[in-house]
Structure 1
Amino acid sequence: MIISFTIEAKQASLGEVHETPAVQEYVVGQLSLVDGEISGGTTVVAQSHEPCPPVTTVARRHVTYSTYSKREPSERWSLEDTQLFYEALSQCGTDFSMMHRLFPKRTRKQLKNKFKYEQHRNKALVDEALSRRLPLDISQYIPQPIEDLDLLAVDFPPVSSVVIDS
């Protein structure tokens, strides 16, 4: 509901008479106040008669929810790895953090997923592996003997040349 009134009518109702110019114009956006009345303004848009340039689109890569995820693809479990998993399950139980140290190329999450998969597919084998507890033996999980590692071949200075200040 738009209420329009003139300035003279408003001043007459208040008992004030002032000399005002004949036309007062205030422009606010699309509406304008001309001589005390609100009117809608008109705008003229310049139109170009030149042809539009051809639109070229750049081929973009398909982006999905998993595009920026940190998921690493895991390699498939071989038959030998599955047998080692059952051995580790007999030795460690369901302690996947300790089992993770026996499988350096696997994450704890991958080991847990393997457990859930095997529990669903081969429940009898999983129950048997968990019921027979074996002592922890890490020798079968290390690919090379510890003696072959260069970590033990570190040259230390002789004890007599070390000076300790007290």
Structure 2
Amino acid sequence: MNRIKLRTAAVLIVLAAIANSAFTQDQSQPSLQDQLQTMYKVSRAGVDSGGFKILEAGTVVVLKKTGIMATEPPGAHKFMIKLPKACDNTFKNGNLSVSRTCSTTTIGSRFLNQGEKMYITKFEVNQKSDKVTFDLVECDQCNGASKPSSMKAIVVFDFANKFLDTAEPGQVVDVINQVFQPQH
């Protein structure tokens, strides 16, 4: 009888340890944002009297799609009609679209070309709205620009409802790679 009690107690201890281990692993699972940060290092940027500057370079991405609208950052001697921020571009269901107001209300806005290189200056994963947003700025040096422009753009990846709740990082990266991918 004692042997049965000992075996039962041993089995219960093992099951409790397994359950605790599974619970601990669930609690320590990094967020999608954290997992993507290992793939996309954000650049640190600043503005001084000379204008916009990249202070610490992060990941450089290469554009794979045309149709991303960008704007020049406001500077000390630049005149902006309306939008002193980057243009909003949305990638949803394989299609890239740009806010209509961006191209018609901002002096110096232009479409970026396939192959242009950009720094990531910010990105955010919003699981509630199923969106991943990247703030990008042109890598003038990488693109061989003779005159600095530092064009800025925002790309919002809009996923299906509840997709980000269960998505693996690789699935999200596959979608992002349709628009741009890290330079190797």
Shorter-normalised TM-score: what interval? Answer: under 0.3
TM-score (norm 2): 0.22
Q: Which has the higher strand share?
A: 2
Relative contact order (C-alpha < 8 Å, sep 6+): which is higher? 2
**Higher Cα Rg, which structure:** 1
